[in-house]
Amino acid sequence: MTTETNTVFDTVKDAFAPVTDAFKNLPTMEVPESAREFVKKTASTAKERAAEALAGSEKVTSAIETAVFDGVTEAGKISRNFQQALYQDTEAFFDGIDRLASAKSISEAVQIQGELARARGEALVARAKSTSEYVSKLVTEGAKVAQENLAKAYNKTA
């Protein structure tokens, strides 16, 4: 029985001898020059692609920074315009009170009040129209700039 087991074991051992020899020779086996060059070239290409990706992401970040800076600048303008409008409204209100106080009769006060209301309505319509034109212009310009910046960034990375 042991002879049969040894024979089967020897047969399996002989069958796997090339694999065993390959593992024994693995530490001393030489890597072909072409394989080393392939790995070097692949690593170099990957390194270049990583640098290009970084440059592209910097372009996108720059575009975002520009858009945010422009947005902050516009927010400042909007805030100043809002403050100016609020001041003008307050000034008009007190001017209206002054005019109403100078009325000598109820009918004159009603007439002044009507004129003030009409002037206030006209001012509100003009302000609303101006605001909608301004916002439309901002959105159009912002979309155009964003599209140009993203196109530049995409073209640099592609």
Q: Which domain holds residue 102?
A: 57-157
- Total structural domains within the chain: 1
Encode pLDDT of 19-44 as tens digits: 777 667 666 667 678 877 887 888 88
**In the 8-state DSSP scheme, what is residue 16?**
T
Encode pLDDT of 78-112 as tens digits: 778 778 888 888 888 888 888 878 888 888 888 98
On whether the pTM is more than 0.85, the answer is no
pLDDT band at 6 (very low <50, low <70, confident <90, very high): low
Distance CA 26, CA 30 (A): 9
Distance CA 94, CA 90 (A): 6
Q: Is residue 8 part of a domain?
A: no
Q: Is residue 30 part of a domain?
A: no
* Averaged pLDDT for residues 121-150: 82
